[in-house]
Amino acid sequence: FRVRGDSVEIIPASREEHAIRVEFFGDEIDRIREVDVLTGEIVGDREHVAIFPASHFVTREEKLKKAIENIEKELEVRAKELKDQDKLLEAQRIEQRTNYDLEMMREMGFCSGIENYSRHLTFREPGATPYTLMDYFPDDFLIMVDESHVTLPQVRGMYNGDRARKQVLVDHGFRLPSAMDNRPLQFPEFEEKVNQATYVSATPGPYELEHTPKMTEQIIRPTGLLDPEIDVRPIHGQIDDLVGEINKRNEKNERVLVTTLTKKMSEDLTDYLKELGIKVAYLHSEIKTLQRIEIIRDLRVGKYDVLVGINLLREGLDIPEVSLVSILDADKEGFLRSDRSLIQTIGRAARNENGRVIMYADKMTKSMQFAIDETYRRREKQIAYNEEHGITPTTIKKEVRDVIKATAVAEEEGNYEATKKPSEMTKKERQEMIDNLETEMKQAARDLDFERAAELRDVLLELKAEG
């Protein structure tokens, strides 16, 4: 904030470009205005403004004094421990760092990394369960866990990952041991807070299967689409066979996904297909969100006919134009060729009425057999339902959105033209693009299109990082 005469200008942490100017007449507020921070231009008058703390660790002075006393006691004990172990450098480091943080807290009520003192600020016992968003929900709240076979192991692994990182900081005198109590929930703690949950997954994991008294299957699609047919072909000559299949799909203006086992194989295959004149892109983990959305969009509008990947062509990839998914080396058992991975990959071809999957393998593994049996079990039910209700499967009609302004597509003509990429833009052009995206993101949020708003938020974060 800044004070100018009888005016106080408050700059919220969430919107640094605009400030709230509160004009006083004596001790009373005379007027509230929103102004541009840089130019001082008045944006508009405001009747009411809600100002939230920049950090949720802001606390009252008497509580802060008590917390500081507790931190000082812990510092004294920890410094003695380190000196007794002859770790003089670490002892000096923890004293210097903590005393600086305490000085900032006394003067400003805040310090960088204040969350590491959250146990003291909330007066919790060592090892006590931290407060989370779930504590604010009513008793009858429902948790929806999407792609639960991936999400639940991530929740389970959060605590250990966080603890391993913090342990190093504590051991080397960068943080007090109480910093380890600013942590994610352990899985049993998470379970205690969950009153009722719905797990959603095409491939439920062991936890969901064990804890679900009754599983509900959603096999029938509103479009009548069937799970794809699956061919198993020998590995010998798999690339030549794949090229032939790609050419067949090109004639029908359909797209192909190819999943490989290694990064090198993906790169080599991409280079080989390019030499043959096939429009191909390689999707890998080093590609940022912004580029990934762009590549998938380019595939849909026909700039590419083939997408090659390793582990990204799975959950959440919804491309109706894809009619063929090729799984190379499908018989190499492991994480990438487990029954769950195979079922998820097969599902990428279930958005098109001509969907087909080709597995290249020299032997039938248990995972392959399970995935094939499961796919055909679902397919039989879908066919029976369609015949009974006279439904003809139709490919999903999904508009190709302008995800970012860096790509402009004339949908009617199917003509593709790329304007400048963010990395090639001037600072002014990038700022204009960020402003446009922010407007679009806020409009999407107002329209309750939260998926779109989240996509745009990720794009914005990357653009700002590049700037």
The Cα angle at residue 81 between residues 78 and 87, in degrees rounded to 5? 105
3-state secondary structure of 107: helix
Amino acid in the structure at residue 176: L
What CATH number is associated with residue 41? 3.30.2060.10
Pairing of strands 280-283, 42-45: unpaired
pLDDT in tens, 104-137: 988 888 888 888 998 998 898 998 999 888 998 9
Residues in a beta bridge with 34:
20, 44
Q: Determine the 3-state secondary structure of 173 from DSSP.
A: coil
Is residue 77 situated within a structural domain?
yes
Instruction: Let me know: does 170 contact 179? Beta carbons within 8 Å.
Output: yes
172 assigned to some structural domain: yes
- 236, 370: one domain: yes
Q: Are residues 36 and 163 in the same domain?
A: no
Please give the Cα distance from 35 to 20 (Å, whole number). Answer: 6
CATH (domain of 118): 3.40.50.300
Q: Identify the burial level of 256 via C-beta atoms within 10 angstroms of its C-beta, where 0-12 means exposed, 13-18 middle and 19 or more buried.
A: buried
pLDDT in the model for residue 417 = 39
Average pLDDT over residues 65-70: 92
H/E run at residue 118: helix 118-121
Say yes or no: 24 and 78 in one domain: no
Q: What is the pLDDT of residue 314?
A: 65
The predicted structure's pLDDT at residue 163: 92
Q: Look at the chain and report how many structural domains it folds into.
A: 4
Q: What is the mean pLDDT of residues 196-221?
A: 88
pLDDT digits (tens, 9 = 90+) for 314-325: 666 778 888 999
Q: Quick one: 185 and 110 in the same domain?
A: yes
Structure confidence at residue 406 (pLDDT) = 40
Domain that holds residue 449: 427-466
Which token pair is 82? 């380190």
* pTM check: above 0.85: no
Which pLDDT band holds residue 408 (cuts at 50, 70, 90)? Answer: very low
- Checking if the pLDDT of 410 tops 60, the result is no
Does 421 map to a domain? Answer: no
